[in-house]
Amino acid sequence: MMTNIEKIIKQGKIHWVCGSCGELCGNKHRLGHMATFHIGVCDVCGLSTAITEIRDYGGLNERRAIANAQSIEDKLSKFNEE
């Protein structure tokens, strides 16, 4: 069965991501690349935090994102426990 995160990734409508979701779902954050962050809602995890465009992480890597979906779910569980 697909997790909620996997469903979001499969929809392909990810534009704004937080740092941790960008690292888990993007191709790669380019060394020396500058990104502008603002406070908003991450399209992957749904948390209100500092976000930037997925392009700043080299675009969405769906295979990598699906492989890391459980890590994102675990992050949300820890956040909800606090």
- Over the stretch 14-68, which tens digit does the pLDDT of each residue have? 999 999 999 999 987 667 778 899 999 999 999 999 999 999 999 999 999 989 8
Q: Taking the model in full, what pTM does it have?
A: 0.83
Residue 66 CB contacts under 8 Å (≥ 6 apart), including other chains: 6, 9, 10
Supply angle C-alpha 39, 53, 55, rounded to 5.
Answer: 160
Residue 39 CB contacts under 8 Å (≥ 6 apart), including other chains: 48, 49, 50, 51
**Side-chain half-sphere exposure of 13, counting CA atoms within 13 A:** 4
- How much is the pLDDT for 72? 86
- How much is the pLDDT for 30? 67
**What angle, 0 to 180 degrees and rounded to 10, lies between the N-to-C axes of helices 4-11 and 69-81?**
130
